Chain A
Amino acid sequence: RKEVEQDPGPFNVPEGATVAFNCTYSNSASQSFFWYRQDCRKEPKLLMSVYSSGNEDGRFTAQLNRASQYISLLIRDSKLSDSATYLCVVTVPRFNAGGTSYGKLTFGQGTILTVHP
């Protein structure tokens, strides 16, 4: 089983639609959760962190369910510019020799979103 699993899509939606992406992770010790966005042939960029209480950033809402080991991302009022691959990312606590936690990111395979006029 993959550590982080996402529905690869693709999702094709019209402008203005609401779209939701889901992600599950296998390691119950996972500590930090993120959604990254990656445009074609570009680097991943942090979209938002995901907090236990759920959080919102404009049209984007992220939810975390630790009991079910499930993360979601909701995009409202989709724009053409939202077309990208959305990567679900988790970190598991890992400590270096100095006892400091460091963030090895574990990525899902990504969900492709295309927003059309």
Chain B
Amino acid sequence: DTGVSQNPRHKITKRGQNVTFRCDPISEHNRLYWYRQTLGQGPEFLTYFQNEAQLEKSRLLSDRFSAERPKGSFSTLEIQRTEQGDSAMYLCASSLVYGGINQPQHFGDGTRLSIL
């Protein structure tokens, strides 16, 4: 399967713990996005990478959140000192810019985070 891969699929942890999620985009895609989705809502943009550069961060991304894409391939999203409000589905998407045009984004299955 050459789609966007995310792991783990599910993460249950106690409040105050740190968690890290991983996203492997489609291999030739140079753009990678993180979104968060809570129940009954559409996904909300968190941050975006062009290759290894993080070019925009949403105000939703507090200082407890950090994302990296060290070699311009896979990305990690870390949440420190988790809070109950962090419980959500974290979605990764990737896309290819070609000829100056951003092609459609393809989403991974997401990581569902539950904070006890």
Q: Identify the A interface with B (CB < 8 A).
A: 4, 8, 34, 41-46, 49, 87, 89, 94, 96-98, 100-110
Contact = CB atoms under 8 A, between A and B. Distances in A.
Interface residues of B, number: 27
Interface string B38-63: 00111111001010000110000000
6 contacts: A44-B91, A46-B104, A96-B50, A102-B97, A103-B105, A109-B42
A43 B108 contact: yes
A101 B40 contact: no
Contacts, number: 64
Contact of B109 (A42, A100, A109): A42
Interface of B: 31, 33, 35, 40-45, 48, 50, 55-56, 91, 93, 95, 97, 100, 102, 104-110, 112
Nearest to A97: B55
Given A97-B55, A108-B42, A43 B109 contact: yes
B48 A104 contact: yes
Given A46-B104, A103-B95, A109 B43 contact: no
A97 B48 CA distance: 13
Contacts of B42: 4, 87, 89, 107-110
Contacts of A46: 104-106
A36 to B, nearest CB: 9
A100 B97 contact: yes
7 tightest A-B CB contacts, nearest first: A107-B42, A43-B107, A103-B102, A96-B55, A107-B43, A104-B45, A109-B42
A87 B107 CA distance: 14
Given A108-B42, A109-B41, A110-B42, A101 B91 contact: no
Contact of B110 (A43, A89, A94, A97): A43
A108 B43 CA distance: 8
